[in-house]
Amino acid sequence: MKRHVRDLAIFGGSALFRNPRAVGRPNQLDRQAFLRRISDVLDSGQLTNDGPQVRSFESMVRRVAGTRHAIAVCNGTMALQIMAMACGLTGEVIVPAMTFIATAHALKWVGLTPVFADVDRHTHTLNADSVEACISPQTSAILGVHLWGNPCDTDQLRDLAHRHKLPLLFDASHAFGCQTRGVRIGGLGDAEAFSFHATKVLQAVEGGAITTNDDQLAERCRRLRNFGITSLTEISALGTNGKMSEIAAAAGLTSFESFQDVVGSNQRNYDQYQIGTSGIPGLEMMRLTADQFGNAQYIVAHVVESDFGMSRNELLAILRADGVFARSYFEPGCHNAIPYSGKAAHHRTELPVTDQLLTEVVQFPTGTGVEANDITAITDLVRFAQRNSTEVRSLRAAQNTQLRSHPNDPVVVSTMPDAA
């Protein structure tokens, strides 16, 4: 517990966590179960090419998503690319500016132009009015993102897509196992793309999947992930090598065995963060809108500088020096990143909500590696920083060249800007 401002690690005090608590630390697999599956793979002699582990993994994903089809691929970015190609998209695709850069990059890599729309302040998902302002004769699809596991407003987006005769697709990388109004995410659009990266609530070390209820679309996705090969002597499309390996599928199946335990841990962490931050001026915990908290794998808050007494980035510098490796996702925003910044083709409308969120959003550590007493310590540190914000700012200004970083942190505290 910090008693004085100079006890903060950024000013030379002892770090709260010698071993940092980080955002996105993978939940550990059951080692023995995983090794048994790897042994089965090696015994089978089939390491890739749609083997039994992949087929079992696809069956599991299909069951959770509630769809007729799940096509496993090597990662979530590949899932987005194959989904776009299988839908025959051309020209422009409307996406939120508030998302991980892979959403936009995946489209750009297959020759499409991502056009950035604004998001809702409360859910951080696509704002339908902003999407409509972005639609042009070159628009070939709407791609929503269920950010943080918060479902998009699918009714509004579906109506918009229907009126403009556009496919409605979703990046569901954050939303495995989530549902909205009793409907499972996976079949809310024409197709949805999932990521099973090591940091996700269900992980295959690296992996992804496309889910759909469209039989023909599913078949096209299967061909495209395997070079467009139809038979031993026939190539029917310009495909790629997007296959999931048997080892990755074995990791995914092992992860699924502890999936409910991981979700339960995340939900308990979310509840404790809510309690621990209650009443802190200027800190607004984000409300999770998926049914029953969804998978709760992200703990997100807004830092409102005028009420909190310091900027989000100033708070981040304090937290990270003390070994709380919080993050400012998704700074600088897709629309401000290369190769999109300053390019009129990607900017059809103003993005006031996104631009504001990029200065406010902070993501706190969670997952099975974060314990209840860790969260108490983290929220006490946040409360202490806010309560002493005037003195913190004064001392920071006086000691700017002497600010300390955590020894395990690649970010240098003294070079962090005061605002995003």
Same domain for 263 and 245: no
> To 10 degrees, the CA torsion angle through 393, 98, 362, 389?
20
CATH number, position 315: 3.90.1150.10
What is the DSSP code string of 77-146?
HHHHHHHHHHTT--SEEEEESSS-HHHHHHHHHTT-EEEEE-B-TTT-SB-HHHHHHH--TTEEEEEEE-
pLDDT mean over 369-388 = 98
pLDDT cut 70: percent of the chain above it: 98
Lowest mean pLDDT, pick from 35-39, 275-279, 329-333: 329-333
Same domain for 176 and 323: no
Same domain for 241 and 332: no
Position 392 in a domain = yes
Amino acid 419: pLDDT: 37
Q: Does 350 score more than 60 pLDDT?
A: yes
Q: Does 416 score more than 60 pLDDT?
A: no
Same domain for 305 and 210: no
How many Å separate Cα 122 from the centre of its chain? 16
SS3 at position 211: strand
Which helix H or strand E contains 165, and what residues bound it? none
Amino acid 410: pLDDT: 87
Same domain for 144 and 119: yes
Residue in the structure block whose two tokens are 């959770």 = 64
Position 86 in a domain = yes
Position 370 in a domain = yes
User: How far lies 59's CA from each of 55, 65, 185, in Å?
Assistant: 6, 10, 16
For residue 237, the number of C-alpha atoms closer than 13 Å in the C-beta half-sphere is 19
Q: Do 334 and 106 form a contact (C-beta atoms < 8 A)? A: no
Same domain for 110 and 35: yes
Amino acid 418: pLDDT: 47
Which of residues 229, 257, 285 is at a domain's end? Answer: 257
Position 359 in a domain = yes
Rg of the chain (C-alpha set): 22
Which residue segment(s) compose the domain that 378 sits in? 5-25+259-415
pLDDT cut 90: percent of the chain above it: 94
Same domain for 130 and 154: yes
Same domain for 277 and 211: no
Same domain for 380 and 267: yes
Amino acid 232: pLDDT: 85
CA-wise closest residue to 79 among 63, 65, 97, 98: 65
Same domain for 35 and 21: no
Residues 248-260 pLDDT 10s: 999 999 999 999 9
Amino acid 399: pLDDT: 75
Residues 124-167 pLDDT 10s: 999 999 999 999 999 999 999 999 999 999 999 999 999 999 99
Query: What is the average pLDDT value for the chain, to the nearest integer?
Result: 95
Same domain for 327 and 180: no
Query: How many structural domains does the chain have?
Result: 2
Residues 243-299 pLDDT 10s: 999 999 999 999 999 999 999 999 999 999 999 999 999 999 999 999 988 999 999
Q: Does 179 score more than 70 pLDDT?
A: yes
Position 420 in a domain = no
Backbone angles phi, psi at 367, to 5 degrees: 105, 175
Position 103 in a domain = yes
Would you place residue 420 in the very low, low, confident or very high pLDDT band (cuts 50, 70, 90)? very low
Give the DSSP letter of residue 245.
P
User: How far lies 101's CA from each of 235, 364, 367, in Å?
Assistant: 32, 20, 23
Same domain for 228 and 93: yes
pTM for the model stands at: 0.95
Secondary structure string (H, E, C) spanning 17-70: CCCCEECCCCCCCCHHHHHHHHHHHHHHCCCCCCCHHHHHHHHHHHHHHCCCEE
Would you place residue 96 in the very low, low, confident or very high pLDDT band (cuts 50, 70, 90)? very high
CATH number, position 111: 3.40.640.10
